[in-house]
Each structure stands twice: as structure tokens, then as C-alpha cells.
Amino acid sequence: MKQRVLFIVAIFIAWLPVFMIQKPLFMAYHHQLASSCLLTDYLQVILHGLKLDCTISGYLTAIPLLLTLGSIWLPGIWLRKLLSGYFFIMAILIAAIFSIDVALYGFWGFRLDATVLFYLQSPKDAMASVPVGLFILQFIFFLVYTYIIYRFFRKCILAWTPETMVRKRITGTVIFLLMGGILFIPIRGGVTTSTANVGMVYFSRNQFLNHSAINPCFSLLASLSKQQDFATQFDFFPEDRRAELMKSLYPSQGVVQTSDSTCTEKTKLLTTNRPNILIILMESFSANVVGTVGGEKDVTTNIDRLSKEGILFTNMYANSFRTDRGIVSVLNGYLAQPTTSIMKYPAKSQTLPSIAKSLNKENYTADMLYGGDINFTNMQSYFFSSGYNKITADRDFPLSSRLSKWGTNDDITFSWLYDNIKGRDTEKPWLTTFLTLSSHEPFEVPFHHLDHPYLNSVAFTDSCLGSFIDKMKQLPAWKNTLVVLVADHGFRYPEDLKDFEPRRFHIPMLWLGGAIKEPMVIDKYANQTDFAATLLSQLDLPHEEFTFSKDLFNPDYPAYAFYTFTNGFGFIDNTGYSVYDNESNKVLMESSADSNSETRLNKGKALLQTLYDDLGSR
């Protein structure tokens, strides 16, 4: 029995060097991109890439484990023969994936994913674009790599295939079932809240190093598991009708937006066009619990107090119900999708414009703070791809500080942020994004002021925020700093709220700081996505790349809000609101059933159709 257990362990370990060797080979193949890399960079790529290598090793060990379990009851040479065939087939697949991936990266700029399947639908046209010399070179490499992998397993693993009888078969079966459970850990990607994803291996601001650490087999499998033909979804209208409706929503779409693109004098909110910028994304902060925008009283007393000092947006709406989609809406000005999340597709999300990328061009430094697991939903890869130079997460705090299920509570992260800002260079402007977490379920916080757990957690984060802002006001940096408070999404409070109704998506947004020219209240309907264009316009920076973001102070743009929930959307403007379910093709709720209702629905459908056309083209 011991021989069989060690045999499975050996198979799992044997796959690791097969994948580890791919990293330096990939970097050597793309030597121009790796020309400035040091030996330590190579070692870091291998080390960080080991996370996904273990995941794929776990998958590849699953079938040998099942076959070896069968050998407990049916001993003989059949196991060796089956495994020989299995290793040969896997050698072919692994070598083929790597050979194709290493060649295509130079053209695509991202690791192998399901995009390759679109080209296989027309192999003749695909091959016509491949130089003959490259094809021959990669085919030779494929044959050699296949041979090496298979010979390695034939000599080092198959020679130890167990063929003897097992006396205690029931005990052996139980042991192997337990081993299957243990094997699930590397397959899942560990025991944390996040599961295996491409972003787990990102570690550098150099995208090439991050890409080099990715296991191409995992990249392909992950992409296949989520692959959809987005461009064919939600085709509500013919193209001319869709374009006409979008024109009513974005009158200047297709026209380059600059600081002087309108003849009217622009509303100036700031005292400077190059402030330090701190964006605080407040987890699950619904407007229904923020008194200053019509919610519960005595929950967010600090936000209510500070709202009198800044610019308060009273009719701001989240674009989604999930953090991963809300973050993209705020920082990239990109509408949330009702059936997927672009953050799960690094090859697509890295093509999005972002506030950080725009500010990097203006000599800003950009960093990210989150007290939780930064690998959750590919956040790490997303932030690096979006232009952030440094990420601080739960792994950077001592274990004793991670008292929440999600990681480090907001009192600790706010204190860390204050100390970090206090020690910064005051000459160079910076962008910091901070995602809070204490007001996330299960709402376990070191604070007991309100009976309702959600309200209590919101009040806790509000108290941390108030203390942080009061201390920030004493720093020299405050005079030139803009602090933006905006929720990542709302929350279903009160409990009788429906998941799709507009009140579920109503959120607060407040601009604070010494860089604010004067307090103001903005009642215009707006999306999270509008923040990007509005901010960049205030900084006199172009924002035409942000297709779905509009400057709220541009008089040409109509006031409306759009949000998505699970395969549905809501559209709100001055005529009322309409909520539509794409599954049943029915209106779920609306403020009035008249001609305005049809207009709102058509505009919402046009937005959704345009969004998925854009998503499919990335």
C-alpha cells in the first residue's frame, strides 16, 4: 500500500519540473522582452508560477490516482499499460499547448486562451498567416518536447508502477479516497477564499514577467471554462437602430473629448489640476444606510458630517451587485456585465483604459490597498494590468491582524494608509485606491454600537473613515489631496428590498479634501462609470478612450443611470425607471407604463448590446 501512495505522490511531483522548465524557455524564446531581466527575475517567475503548476499537476494526477485505486482490487500489468498511454497523450497535449502558446505570445501579447479556437474554425486561413519557417520550427520543438516528457515519465515513473496484491483493500481504498480529497487542495488553488486563477501568479509591475509565470495549460482551461461568444448576445436591434439609440445617450461619441471640447465654461471643482488622489471604494455601502443621501440616520455619522465639506452626488448608482464588476466600473469607466465579469478575462481586461494608466502618463505613481485576498476574482492581475505599481494586501499584514474572514479589518488598513501617506514624497503626485472590507458579510467587526450586523459593520467602517480623514487634515499633503468616497456596490437593505429594484443600486459618492474648491451638491442621475470621465475632465486630461463614461458636467450629456443584475438591467432617468429581465424578456418593474417606459427600455437594451459587442471585440 505504501508503494502505491508514494507512486501517486511521485506522479504529482514529476509534473512540476515539466512546467517549471517552460518558464525560462518562454523567456528565452522572447529574449528581446527579457533582455533587462536578472537571474532573480527568472527565479521569481518560476517560484510564483509554481502555484498554477501545482493546480495543473493536481488535475493531471487525478486519473492516475483513480487507476491506481482500481489496482488495489485488480492487480496486474494493466495499470502500467494504461498509464503509459495516458502519459503519452498528456505529453502530446502539454507540448502542443506550450509550442503554440510560446509562438503566439509574440503576436497576441497574452498567454494562450480560447481565442485560438476561433482560428481553428478556419485552419486554412489561420495557417496562411503563419510563416513556414516558424511553423517548422515550432513543430520540431513540439516533437522534441513531447519525446522528452514521455521518456521522463517512462523512465522515472512507469518503472515504479505497483503491480503487487494489496492485502487490506478496504483500508487502501479509504486511504486513496482521502488522498483524492487532499489532491483537491492544489487543484482548487489552496484553502483561502480565492480559487485558482491567472492573477495568483502576478507579482511584478512588469507585465512580461507576470505573463511568463502563467501556466499556459491553466490559461487555456480557465478561458475554455468561461468562454462565450459575447458579440452575438443581446442583439436587440439592427446596427443602425442601435447606433441611433447610443447617439442619444452619448451625443459626442466618436468625437475626441478634450478639456475645451465645449464652448461653455467648464465647472471647476478643484483648486488644482494635479492633486494627489485617494479613491476609497467602500464595500457594500448602500445609500439606504447613508443619512445624507436619504438613508438611515445615525449610521454613517462621519460621512454625513463630512458631506457638508465636499461635493456630494446624491443620485449615483452602482453598475452592478458585485465587487469585481463595481471596481471596473469605477476605475475603468466600463459598464458591468449581467452574465459575466471582464475581470475574469485578463486578456480582455488589460485592454481597458483606466484612470491609473491615464495618470501614469502625467507622472503619477499608482498603488492599491486591500486588506483581503488580492487573488480573489483575478484582482491582482487586473490591478497590475490597469497601471498600478504596487499592491498591498492581507499577505502584507501580520497573521494576528487578519481577524476577519476576509482578511484585515478596516481600522488596521486605515491606520496603515495614514502612516504610509504621512511618509510619502510630497513632490510627486500619487493615486491610491483603497478597497475596504469590514462591511462585507458576515459583518464581523470589533465594534458593537448597533444591533443589526450590517448596519453595525457600516458604522464601524464609517468610524474608521472619520478618524482617518480627521488625521489626514493635519498633514501637509491634505491641501493638495482629493479624496473620493464611492461604494463598490449597494446592499439588500432593508431586507424587503428586491435584488433588482433601483434602490438596491443607489450608492453614495462624495469628493473631499483640501483640493476641493467649494462644497456642492450634485443631484444629476449618474453611473459609477461616469466617475472616470468626470475626474479626468477636471484634471484637463482627455477621456475619449472611456467609451461608456461621460463627464457629468458636460451639458451635452443626458442625465441617466444604468445598472445590471443577473441577466437583467435597470434604466433610470428623469422620466422614471424601468427594470428588465433578459431571461423572461419581461419588465420586472417600472415607474409608469407609458411611452417613456418603452424609450427607457430601448436605451437600456442599446447599452447592453453595445457593451457585449465591445466585450466580444476585446
Please report the pLDDT score of residue 266 as a whole number.
78
Separation CA 419–CA 102 (nearest Å)? 44
Q: Which of 14-28, 119-133, 432-446 has the lowest mean pLDDT?
A: 119-133
> Would you state the pLDDT for residue 345?
87
What's the rounded mean pLDDT across residues 594-613?
95
How is residue 486 annotated by DSSP? E
| Interatomic CA distance for residues 453 and 554, integer angstroms | 41
Cβ(485)–Cβ(512) under 8 Å? yes
Q: Please state, in angstroms and rounded to a whole number, the distance separating the CA atoms of residues 21 and 58.
A: 18
Looking at residue 615, what is its pLDDT? 95
Distances (CA, A) of 250 to 557, 558, 559, 600, 603: 6, 8, 10, 15, 11
User: Quick one: pLDDT at residue 261?
Assistant: 45
Q: Cβ distance 357 to 546 under 8 Å?
A: no
Q: Give 527 or 127, the one with higher predicted confidence.
A: 527
Query: Average pLDDT of 577-589?
Result: 91
Q: What is the DSSP letter of 242?
A: H
Query: Does position 89 have pLDDT exceeding 60, yes or no?
Result: yes
- The CA radius of gyration of the chain, in Å to the nearest whole number, is 27
In this prediction, residue 11 carries a pLDDT of: 97
CB-CB contact of 458 with 493 (8 Å): no
Strand 390-392 and strand 568-573: the pairing is unpaired
Cell of residue 440, nine digits: 462585507
Q: Given its phi and psi angles, is residue 95 left (phi above 0), alpha (psi -120 to 50 degrees) or beta?
A: alpha
Whether pLDDT at 114 is above 80: no
Percent of the chain with pLDDT over 70: 95
* Cell numbers describing residue 432: 491610491
Q: How sure is the predictor about 123, in pLDDT bands with cuts at 50, 70 and 90?
A: low
Residue 272 Ramachandran class (φ > 0 left, ψ -120 to 50 alpha, else beta): beta
| Residue 308 clears pLDDT 90, i.e. is over it | yes
275: left (phi over 0), alpha (psi -120 to 50) or beta: beta
- Three-state SS for 163-174 is CCCCCCHHHHHH
Per-residue cell: 587: 419588465
pLDDT of residue 256: 44
Judged by average pLDDT, the poorest of 22-36, 107-121, 396-410 is 107-121
**What 3-state class would DSSP assign to 419?**
helix
Residue 2 pLDDT level (bands cut at 50, 70, 90): confident
> Running DSSP on this structure, what letter comes out for residue 475?
S
Classify the C-alpha dihedral 73-76-80-83 as positive or negative: negative
Please report the pLDDT score of residue 124 as a whole number.
53
Summarize pLDDT for 355-367 with one digit per residue, the tens: 999 999 999 999 9
Compute the half-sphere exposure of residue 79: CA atoms within 13 Å on the CB side of its CA.
26
Question: Is the pLDDT score of 136 beyond 70?
Answer: yes
Q: Which of 104-108, 339-343, 464-468, 586-590 has the lowest mean pLDDT?
A: 104-108
Using the predicted structure, report yes or no on whether residue 462 has a pLDDT greater than 60: yes
Among 18-27, 186-195, 250-259, which is the least confidently predicted range? 250-259
Average pLDDT of 395-401? 92
